[in-house]
Structure 1
Amino acid sequence: MNDMARLQKQRLALYGWMLVAPALALMSLFAFYPAIATLWHSLFTRGTTRRPSVFAGFDNYGDLFADPTFWTVAWNNIIYAGITIPVSIIFALIMALWANAHIPARSFVRSAYFTPTILPMIAAANLWLFFYTPDLGVIDQITGFFGASPTNWLGQPETALASVIMVTIWKEAGFFMIFYLAALQTIPPDLREAARIEGAGRWTYTRRVLLPLLMPTTIFVFVNAMINSVKLIDHLFILTKGGPNNASKLILYWIWEMAFSYFDSPHAAAMTILVLLTLGLVAVIQFRLVEKRTHYR
């Protein structure tokens, strides 16, 4: 009897591994192996035809920490993520609540909110160049009515990063709205009626009922927004190219610049590993702390 139970258990384990094998093979090919190869590559110096690369340990990481550009770019990305993530989520939730309400032309409102999402980031950046052009752009044309002087929004350090952030929020909020809208449509209307019977106002219902039920969606949107805050660099190629004076340069753009403009792949690999470690740390904090406060139905 024990042999039969053991055989059945082995069959179930084999069946489970067969189901996992395709996903595991793809993850190994496109995630695990590139990450390990990048880590290994970051431990060597940059090689040339006359001087081959040699093992350098963690010297590349030390070079990054000693580079003032590293801290400038890291701080830029912290500001970029710290603004784009919460603002995009807040706007997405507000737009979803409005698009889900019984209002005239509701389909048009939903389409208008989602339209920026279907545009490629390069096209969106070129569109916003029309807004940011000094003296001739839409923004300067509007502010000119109030007597304001023309502003080079993308050409001065004080406004370059903020201009890039504005484009990202405009592009991302409509995408995140779709997830909130789908989640809102799964919430039974009976909960709203029950809240009214109990005397709960709109704000109390939103804070006590709606937001906790939307917390799983918020976590999903937060993870996507956090990843996008690191990987979205297409608009930088069109708007600022990281300038002026690194004022709008973000981490992934700097990695691309090191690898393909300066051909310094070891330092680019080291920077990539630091990004992966940071994202992993944030994920651990999220699942250990935020996940405990999430309410699932």
Structure 2
Amino acid sequence: MGRSKVIKVNLMAWIFLLPSLIFLIMFTLYPVISTLISSFYKSDLSTIEPLFVGFENYRSMMEDEVFRKAFINNIWFAIGTVPTSVLIGLLLAILVNRTFIGKSLSRVFFFYPVVIPMVAASFIWLFFYTPDYGMVNSILKLFGFGELNFLGNSDTALLSIIIMVVWKEAGFFMIFYLAALQNIPKDLLEAARIDGASKWRQFRSIVFPLLMPTTLFSAIIATTNAFKTVDQLVVMTQGGPNNASNLLLYYIYENTFRFMDYGKAATVTVIVLIIMVLIAAIQFFATDKKIHYS
């Protein structure tokens, strides 16, 4: 291939990539760089013009009890939602991958929560958790238990949000696992069955290793979702009571739109981005050697 032809091919490739590159710069790179720069400035209602303060925003953030509470809550929220939603998604996929009457209806039923907007789902679960006439408390009363204020109690508010998010996300991961299960070669399972392998041995030695790419993808997506939760908090708890359900993205939302402290909001945003990148990198490199791509 001549030099001119190589240049022409490369030029055409860049021309085709240019629209995507422009959008990447406009909506990803520029906001990230702008947020990073803003985190070094004090920009709130007490300052007419943004004032450069260096790492002061980071220092004050580490001393903020509300930030520490939101950070710890977010860790527990991720621990509660990520493995649970991924595991339930896997179990649902195994269930609906079988042949039985009503299989298609079951798939729709399990996936339906995914298509419900988060705000609408939050209002549904807000009704479930209502102390006086909510469905959960009605069931508890039916069995002789006392009434509970799930969202108004510091001990149960975060757990209540976790349950709702798992219900919302499990069907999403079910779809990915279902597609992965249907791509597993049937002859491998048939050979294992002929060799006398039990169903559990087939799953442990053949199915699950081949599902590792899907598991890694699902874990990264679930972790990312865990650190960008805000809609349900706005509707259900506003981070309360006493910041018991406050999470990092809601903390950013409050500082941006309620307190107008843009410098602090940018600082927390940078921290959240770093956390998400580190977690994704750890998940990827820790499981890369255990993944079978073919």
TM-score by length of 1: 0.94
CA distance in 2, matches of 1:53, 1:142: 54
CA distance in 1, matches of 2:92, 2:212: 17
2:45–2:260: 8 Å Cα contact kept in structure 1? no
The aligned residue for residue 271 of structure 2 is: 274
- Indicate the larger mover: 263-272 or 97-106: 97-106
Letter in 2 for 1:146: F
The aligned residue for residue 170 of structure 1 is: 167
Shift of 1:268: 0.1
Letter in 2 for 1:176: F
- Indicate the larger mover: 213-222 or 135-144: 135-144
Equivalent position SS for 2:293: coil
- Choose from 43, 54, 58 the match for 1:57: 54
Letter in 2 for 1:261: R
The aligned residue for residue 202 of structure 2 is: 205
CA distance in 1, matches of 2:67, 2:97: 44
- Choose from 211, 223, 226 the match for 2:223: 226
1:7-86 alignment, distance < 5 Å: 7-46=4-43, 51-86=48-83
The aligned residue for residue 112 of structure 2 is: 115
For structure 1, the residue ranges without an aligned partner over 5 or more in a row are: none
Equivalent position SS for 1:231: coil
Q: Does 1:250 align with 2:240?
A: no
Shift of 1:160: 0.2
For structure 2, the residue ranges without an aligned partner over 5 or more in a row are: none
Letter in 1 for 2:235: I
Shift of 1:144: 1.7
Shift of 1:213: 0.8
CA distance in 2, matches of 1:248, 1:25: 38
Letter in 2 for 1:231: K
Q: Does 1:154 align with 2:151?
A: yes
Give the direction of change, closer, same or farther, for the CA distance of 1:167–1:275 in structure 2 (3 Å limit).
same
The aligned residue for residue 84 of structure 2 is: 87
- Indicate the larger mover: 81-90 or 121-130: 121-130
CA distance in 1, matches of 2:47, 2:65: 29
The aligned residue for residue 101 of structure 2 is: 104
CA distance in 2, matches of 1:84, 1:50: 40
* Deviation string, structure 1 residues 125-165 (Cα, Å, up to 9, x no partner): 11112211113211112122332110000001000000000
Equivalent position SS for 1:147: coil
Shift of 1:102: 1.1
Give the direction of change, closer, same or farther, for the CA distance of 1:90–1:49 in structure 2 (3 Å limit).
closer
CA distance in 2, matches of 1:193, 1:106: 23
Aligned residues: 294
Letter in 2 for 1:202: K
1:180-195 alignment, distance < 5 Å: 180-195=177-192
